[in-house]
Each structure stands twice: as C-alpha cells, then as structure tokens.
Chain A
Amino acid sequence: MSTTTGVFTPKPGAAPLSRMIRAQALLETKMLLRNGEQLLLTVVIPTLLLVLFSAVDIVDTGSGKAVDFLAPGILALAVMSTAFTGQAIATGFERRYGVLKRLGASPLPRWALMTAKTCSVLVTEVLQIVLLTVVAFALGWSPHGNPVWVVLLLILGTAAFSGLGLLMAGTLKAEATLAAANLVFLLLLVGGGVIVPLEKFPGALQSVLELLPISALSDGLRDVLQHGRGLPLADLGILAVWTVLGLGAAARFFRWE
C-alpha cells in the first residue's frame, strides 16, 4: 500500500440522499427548460391557446366570459403537457441514450431518480401555472372556489399523467413514444374538455370521453374555479383510478434499457 495519496486514491461513497435528489431534480429541470420542443409543448401552446380562444370567439364556451371556461382547461392541459407528453418523450430518449442505464450504476437509487423526476415535473408545473395565471388575469379571469381542491386536483392529475407517460416511455421505442405522446396530446386537447366543451360531442361518445384523465382534470378544475363548487369527488375518483392503473403498469412493465 502506498502512503502517498493520488488524485484517484479510492475514497468511495454516496453523497447524502437529499443532495443527490436535489442535484438530479435540478439537472432534469434544466434539461427540460433548455429543450425548445419541450417549451413549445409546455409553455407556448397552452399560452397561445388561452390567449387566442379567449380573445377570438372560435368555440362556443357557454354563458359567461370565455376565459373563465378556458383557464381551468388550459391549466389541465399544462399539467398534461409536462407530466405526460414532456415526461414521456424525455424519459423515452433518456432510456434510448443509456442515461437511465448509466444512472442505474451510480449511487442514486432508482426511487430517488423517480422522486427527482417528479420534483422536476412539479417545479415546471409551478412555473407554467404562474405564467398562465398571470395571462388569464390579464384576460379578465375571475376564479372562484377553494384553492385546496385545485391543488389536490393538480397533484392527482400529475400523478395520473406521470404514470401513463412513464408507462409509454418505459415500454415503447423512443421514436414511437415521441409520435404517440404528441398524438395523444393532440387528441386529448380536442376531446378532453380543454377548449371544446364535452357537451358538443354526441351523448354516447361524451360519456366515454368523460372518463379520460384530461376530462376529469379539466372538469374538476372548472367545477371549482368557474362554478365555485365543493370537493369534486367524481373527478378525483377518476384521476385516482388512472393513477393506480398508470403507475402500477409503469412499475410493472418499465424497462430501464
């Protein structure tokens, strides 16, 4: 054994968990905010839709100001764009490029990686919500209701969409995830009560669409924020079922390589 210490003389050890998770969450958030396509999806599209559909009478949004109907839907869209579409695409490519594999050999445990990803999603959502709220107020939004229910809906919505996003990222090829996540985003944007009221759809279709996570989230947010109603139990229930199904399937089928 040499007595001198070199640059590489072994001194292994994991950093404290809190430091690892913080560092990982920070890096994940930076990657997301640096990615132009992701920003288009999470910031530009929701903001544009909010402004455009509030200012121009394209879709009949019922009685009252258009922004009061649109703002809750756009908040739901923002959650979906980050927790589902953005997370699915990013994670799919991380898997494809061996990032998840390499992190798997680092001291960072898998659950800590997933925690960091969740933190990064939540931080992004907070930034989105702040921006969209400011824009909505500028457009004359007057929200009602109990903010606690709003936060509850947003968190459960995030969990449901994260499960579905990770399920997609962990089972499909990265290119397939990219295509499918964008397609689903578009379909749910149109058919999930975000900007088009579900009442516009035929009855049978409507009762199916109501069960989608995006419909439950936008409907729940609208019940509280537009109509000032109490705890949106049915919508929370639908989101809870999607959360259990999505996260359960993701935990079961996710492949790290």
Chain B
Amino acid sequence: MRSTSPGDVPRTPGREPAVEVTGLVKRYGSKTAVDGLDLTVARGTVTAVLGPNGAGKTTTVETCEGYRRADAGTVRVLGLDPVADAAALRPRIGVMLQSGGVYAGARAEEMLRHTASLHAHPVDVDVLIERLGLDSCGRTTYRRLSGGQQQRLALAMAVVGRPELVFLDEPTAGLDPQARRATWDLVRELRTDGVSVVLTTHFMDEAEQLADDVAIIDGGRVIAQGSPETLCKGGAENTLRFTGRPGLDLASLLKALPAGCAAAELTPGAYRVNGTIDPQLLATVTSWCAQNGVLPDRIAVERHTLEDVFLELTGKELRA
C-alpha cells in the first residue's frame, strides 16, 4: 500500500468519504482473509458490515483502524492512510474492539474517565454512564463486570472522545435485549449528532434497524451493498400466505392476479402467493376468496428480509 505524499492529504477536510476502501487484499500466511474488497462509507451515515464468522469483517475494520497493513489495495479513512497517518487519524476515530481492551483491575468509571482524559473535548462522562446504564457498576472492576457491561463500557470508551467516525466491532454480541436497545439508541443518537458509524454484525435485525447502508461480506468480498430497502427489493419476490379450504382452484386465482405472480398450495389448505405484494394485490386475493366463499383463517404478508437476501446471495445461513 502506498501512502499519499503529505501534500495530497487532506484534500478538502470533512468532504471526503468517511471510509474509502479499494481492492483491499489481506492474507495471513496462505489464507486470504480479504480478497479484493471495495467499501465506501458516506459521512454521517451508519454502515453495517454484515457477514458470517470468518467473512473478513474484523480484518477489514482493523485495517481501517490502522492495526494491519493492506497487502494490496488502498484504504483511506477520513482521507488519511490509517498506517502512515496514524498519529493524525487516531484522535479523530473511536474504536470498539470485539473484546477486551481494558485493564482487568480497572474500575468501569475509572477506565472511562481515563479514556476521556486522553482527548481534548470529551463527552461528559456522567452523561455517558447514565445513557448506557453503567451507573450501577461504576466502581466494579472490569474482570467482575458482566459480559454486557464490558461491551457497554467498550462502547462508551469508543465514543467518549467525540470522534468523527466510530468503528464498532459486533457491539451487541452477547447483550440482553434491554442492553441491546440502549446500544441501538446510542448509535441512532450518534448519527443524529453527525458521527459516522461503521459497525460489524451478524444480526440481520440490527442491520435493518440501524443502518443507512448495508455491506454484505462473504469470502473476503463485498457481495452486495445498499440500503436495507434496496437490498430487500432486489432478489426474490415477496410472499403472501393464507390458509383456507383445501383444494381451491388456483388457476382462477392466477387469472385474477397481475402477470408474473405465482400461487401454490404447499400443504392442504395452506396457500402461498409470490409476486410484488402491494395493497392492490392483497385486495385482489381477498375479493377472490369472497367470490369463492372462502374465509381465510389466516392471511400474512411476508416481507423479504435481509436474511433472505443473504441466503440467496451466499447460499448460507448467516449464523453458522
């Protein structure tokens, strides 16, 4: 990887993408962890890097954080080279590692205050402690914190320096639902306040709930990128299911439906319609049922989820 000469950086401060990765390759011995990966993160957005274990998520993020040198390709973070310009970059980014990062004997509040003291304009530590529900364990040493408390402390440490860009590596892994919601709320607040966020996750709902942009990674490459809505529109069609009397005449239903739709009786009395499910189509199905004297016991519209997209793209379940 070549670093730009000092004259080139930064071009227009604040204007370049938060992250710009082109053709990134990273090998560990004979194993290729990242294999020609491209990723752009726009300023002020939340980008979720989604993928199964071993897909190259952490390697990618840690290369952006300056921990590893790219074997090929270029990496620019806030317009800087994360290795060559590390000293200039570090104060501007916040980092949450997948685990650890705190002295075993340090108390939660003590460690957070210490991290704050390394920055020029830190967030009010008391506010952060309250926001993340760490008030009950401020005097507890790190080794005695629960896994969820350790995660939230690491998150607090990542944002306390008021960075422009935050990297969160699996921020909600192992959290209970309440702690997870607190983390989500914090990520939303970061975006509202203009912080760019890159988070890795293997939770689909997390990506759907939080991300403006989702990059799906598999085998060290980005295989799809876009907003959750865009990603879900592509690929397979959506599904409507209903149950009724067995043996309905699906040919007459198909005639009533717009072209391109499909209908099937999966098990006796359980029907599935595939196509672009919109309010009009739902009305067509229910009026066809009325004409045939069928009262559907159950009728459900199934949106295409990121989970489906992922399965189609990779042929794999996400949580292997």
Contact = CB atoms under 8 A, between A and B. Distances in A.
Interface of A: 1-2, 5-16, 19-20, 23-24, 27, 30-31, 34-35, 93-94, 97-99, 101-102, 104-109, 257
Contact of B93 (A93, A101, A105): A105
Contact of B119 (A12, A24, A98): A12
Interface class of chain B by DSSP: loop
A20 B118 contact: yes
Contact of A15 (B92, B119, B164): B119
B66 A98 contact: no
Contacts, number: 124
B103 A8 contact: no
B90 A107 contact: yes
Contacts of B123: 7-8
25 contacts: A2-B194, A6-B192, A6-B193, A7-B131, A9-B162, A9-B193, A9-B194, A10-B162, A10-B164, A10-B194, A10-B195, A12-B92, A12-B93, A12-B121, A12-B162, A14-B118, A15-B118, A23-B118, A98-B97, A98-B99, A99-B102, A101-B67, A104-B66, A105-B93, A107-B119
A64 B65 CA distance: 62
Contacts of B3: none
A93 B104 contact: yes
Contacts of A31: 103, 105-106
Contacts of B105: 31, 34-35
Contacts of B100: 97-99, 101-102
B71 interface: no
Given A7-B127, A8-B123, A98-B99, A15 B163 contact: no
Nearest to B90: A107
Contacts of B115: 106
Contacts of A102: 95, 97, 100-102, 157
Contacts of B131: 7
Contacts of A8: 123, 159, 162, 189-190, 193, 195
A77 to B, nearest CB: 24
Interface residues of B, number: 43
A31 B104 CA distance: 9
Interface of B: 65-67, 87, 90-93, 95, 97, 99-106, 110, 114-115, 117-121, 123-124, 127-128, 131, 157, 159, 161-164, 189-190, 192-195
A1 B44 CA distance: 10
A11 B121 contact: yes
Contact of A12 (B110, B164, B193): B164
A69 B30 CA distance: 59
B201 to A, nearest CB: 20
A85 to B, nearest CB: 17
B92 to A, nearest CB: 4
A107 B161 contact: yes
B65 A105 contact: yes
Nearest to B122: A15
B103 A14 contact: no
Given A6-B194, A15-B120, A106-B115, 16 more contacts: A1-B194, A7-B193, A8-B189, A12-B120, A14-B119, A16-B120, A19-B117, A23-B117, A27-B106, A98-B100, A99-B100, A99-B101, A101-B97, A104-B67, A106-B90, A107-B119
